[in-house]
Amino acid sequence: MTGTAGRALHLLDVEYLGLGPKLTSRDLELVLRHYRPMVGWHVGDHLVGAASHFVYRRIAFDCDRDLRLLPAGGGPDAADLRLIDEATHVIDLTRYDRIVVASGDHIFGIVADAAHELGLEVWAAAYEFNLARSLAAAVDHVVDLTVGHALAA
């Protein structure tokens, strides 16, 4: 297993983690409680999530205060595209030692490639039953969030 030392950026596909658009703020709280120890989260890591405007409107003000939640609009892959844009055009990835993509969607290979070009370690934290093989191949380490997770059971 690779290391968790240093600061990490966690890119959270909120609806993926919550297993769909019916996600509540309570569901997200449970997911993050499960997620953090599995990925070696430390105080000082940054959590950036995105959700469709429907989910965002419902949960934004009830989220953990250490989560920066972004509205992603609507449509296919809206949250994915918002996180990818944030990671590749807004956030300075060189300020991190590790990038954790909390999604199983293949499109996040773009983030893995960008982070690897900077010499960063990249993890995917995903449900084994919904992890794209191409994403698994693009990252350095995969964490199976299915293990012991009430929402994924």
Q: pLDDT, tens digit, for every residue of 32-59?
A: 999 999 999 999 999 999 999 999 999 9
| Cα(73)–Cα(78) distance, integer angstroms | 6
- Cα gap 74→9, rounded to integer Å: 24
Residue 37 in any domain: the answer is yes
Q: Report yes or no on 89 lying in a domain.
A: yes
What range does the domain containing 138 cover?
Answer: 8-144
Q: Which two tokens stand for residue 106?
A: 């293949």
- DSSP letters for 24-73: -HHHHHHHHHHHHHHTT--BTBEEEEEE-HHHHHHHGGGS-TTEEEEE--
Query: For residue 121, is it within any domain?
Result: yes
pTM of the shown model: 0.92
In this structure, what CATH number is given to the domain that contains residue 15?
3.40.50.1010
151 lies in a domain? Answer: no
150 in any annotated domain: no
User: Would you say residue 2 lies in a domain?
Assistant: no
Q: Is 73 left (phi over 0), alpha (psi -120 to 50) or beta?
A: left
Bridge partners (DSSP) of residue 12 are 49, 102
98-127 pLDDT, tens digit per residue, is 999 999 999 999 999 999 999 999 999 999
Q: How many domains does the chain have?
A: 1
96 found inside a domain = yes
78 assigned to some structural domain: yes
pLDDT band at 1 (very low <50, low <70, confident <90, very high): very low
